[in-house]
Amino acid sequence: MLTKRIIACLDMDGGRVVKGVRFKNLRDAGDPAECATAHARNGADEIVLLDITATSGNRRTLLEAVRSTARSLFVPFTVGGGIRQLEDAAAVFDAGADKIAINSAAVRDPALIGKIAGRFGSQAVVVAIDARKVDGGFEVFVAGGRLPTGRDAIQWAREAAACGAGEILLTSMDRDGTQSGFDCQLVREVAEAVSIPVIASGGAGSACDFIEVFREGRADAALAASIFHFGIEDIAQLKHELHGAGVAVRWPC
Amino acid sequence: MIAIVDYGAGNLNSVKKAFDYLGAEVVVTDQPENVATADKIVFPGVGHFSSLQALSRTGLREALLQAAGGGKPVLGICLGMQWLFEGSEECAEVAGAGIFPGRCRQFPSSVKSPHVGWNSLTVQKGSRLLRGVAQDSFVYYTHSFHAPVVAGMTAASEYGLQFAGAVERGNIFGVQFHPEKSGEVGLSILKNFCEV
């Protein structure tokens, strides 16, 4: 039986894993390679590494972090942040990523999705969408959540899928880092609009939140960062609880 | 020496990295002569079935068929396993190796496609490749087309229907899932391949 995936996300700034609340107030949470292998050992089905500052000066730091993280990681590994063109993606794959996540660059140039998918396969292209509730709908924000685009998140997810995206990583900016639960309405609307897998992100705080986003939100996977880094919710314990609640998860791993 | 066949599609780093981790001697190559001289061959695949057309152009198809026919252990991964069958609905014009009967097909419309994530394996007895792999072990899949249930199937998974997760006949092995991304279970399968 296909299981629901639990994905651990590492937000990276200058080679270190950090975590903030609503994209702000960053705290240090460790070395990326060490965090990744610890999460994988603990039952994470997948690791996402996001370079949240992603300036051009940071490229080398990112590639080094990808290389050292990939070396001993044998679960799917996604890398995002600052990927603006095919060459950036190629460098990240070359350093050992299995998938890349693109956000702002895809909004600016949707054809980039198809370009990367054409060379590395759709399974390797994750389109990340940061969305916030605005006037009853959900609006797409870019540049780390700083710039509103005026675009509807559900429409954009549909377009990204049509362009060749393999998965959608959907973050609710309203819930990010708050541990107040996923935005199940947002997740469900996107999950019903596309046939590719949807990874829910933003707001994970308890096992109940995961159960809700898998059942009510129809998410294929759920991603969390802060609750795993600081040991609030242990992934092994989380999976044990999900398994007990009848959610199909890779457990025991 | 294990040759990992590179026919210009996708990213073979993860496969190479897993064999490196296991201490195996591997080379990534697009040269038919390297396939001919290798002891074992890994044929990973990613993307569209039509990308396999490149095999004929480059002489790799002939080299792979000769190695397979000559008794060398060959492991097809993902699209590489689909190639071991007669062909695929995804691209009717490109012929597979025909080592296993039947064609690869799309998943039924009752399930989302692609099939992405960790799914469990129903393992048959007697597989050399899956030696030591526990019943209901989880492995990582990502694909839109699936191979049919055939006589040489050594493991099945369910997604809208039952399909072949792994096949085996003599020296020829195929896995639809990605052992290089399937944690300890996947590494143990690659280790078995190194030892066949």
Least confident of A116-125, A151-160, B162-171: A116-125
Among the listed residues A244, A242, A125, A222, the one whose alpha carbon sits nearest the alpha carbon of residue A175: A222
Among the listed residues A237, A249, A74, the one whose alpha carbon sits nearest the alpha carbon of residue B136: A249
Alpha carbons B61 and B72: distance in angstroms, whole number: 15
Is the Cβ of A252 closer than 8 Å to some Cβ of chain B? no
Shortest Cα distance, chain B CAs vs residue A25, angstroms: 33
The sheet that has B87-88: what strands, in order across it?
B87-88, B103-106, B145-146
**Over chain B, what is the mean pLDDT?**
95
Q: Is the pLDDT of residue A229 over 90?
A: no
CA distances from A217 to A174, A221, B159 (A): 16, 10, 20
B122: number of Cβ within 10 Å:
15
- Domains assigned to chain A: 5-244 (3.20.20.70)
Q: Which residue has the tokens 């039947």?
A: B102
Instruction: Give me the torsion for CA of A234, A240, A246, A251, rounded to 10°.
Output: 110
Q: Give the one of A40, A71, A74 whose C-beta lies nearest to B180's C-beta.
A: A74
Domain residues of chain B, as ranges?
A: 2-195
Is the Cβ of A72 closer than 8 Å to some Cβ of chain B? yes
Q: Please indicate whether, in this complex, the C-beta atoms of B11 and A120 are within 8 angstroms of each other.
A: yes
Rounded mean pLDDT, A23-46: 86
Residue B19 · residue B57 · CB < 8 Å:
no
Sign, CA torsion B72/B73/B77/B79:
positive
A132 or B12: which leads in pLDDT: A132
Alpha carbons A232 and A249: distance in angstroms, whole number: 20
Q: Please indicate whether, in this complex, the C-beta atoms of A120 and B112 are within 8 angstroms of each other.
A: no
Rounded mean pLDDT, B146-152: 97
Q: Tell me: the pLDDT tens digits for B11-33? A: 788 999 999 999 999 999 999 99
Q: Tell me: the pLDDT tens digits for B40-91? A: 999 997 778 988 998 999 999 999 999 999 999 999 999 999 999 999 999 9
Residue B30 · residue B5 · CB < 8 Å:
yes
Least confident of A7-21, A148-162, B120-134: A7-21
Least confident of B40-49, B110-119, B168-177: B40-49
pLDDT for residue A22: 52
Q: Please indicate whether, in this complex, the C-beta atoms of A70 and B17 are within 8 angstroms of each other.
A: yes
Alpha carbons A175 and A171: distance in angstroms, whole number: 8
Instruction: Give me the torsion for CA of B19, B139, B63, B52, rounded to 10°.
Output: -120
- Give the rounded distance of the alpha carbon of A66 from its chain centre: 15
Residue A247 phi, psi (nearest 5): -85, 130
The active-site residue out of A31, A51, A130, A220 is: A130
Q: Please indicate whether, in this complex, the C-beta atoms of B13 and A93 are within 8 angstroms of each other.
A: yes
Rounded mean pLDDT, A121-135: 95
Question: Given this structure, which CATH class describes domain B2-195?
Answer: alpha beta
Candidates B16, B21, B116: best to mutate against A (most CBs of A within 10 A) is B116
Q: Is the pLDDT of residue A26 over 90?
A: no
A54 or B150: which leads in pLDDT: B150
Least confident of A2-6, A106-110, B53-57: B53-57
Least confident of A89-98, A200-209, B47-56, B103-112: B47-56
Q: Which residue has the tokens 């070359």?
A: A94
Residue B91 annotated among the catalytic residues of the structure: no
pLDDT for residue A59: 80
Residue A76 · residue A98 · CB < 8 Å:
yes
- Quickly state the pLDDT bin for B96 (edges 50, 70, 90): very high
Q: Give the one of B17, B18, B117 whose C-beta lies nearest to A2's C-beta.
A: B117
Q: Which residues of A touch B120 (CB under 8 A)?
A: 1, 3
B117: number of Cβ within 10 Å:
23
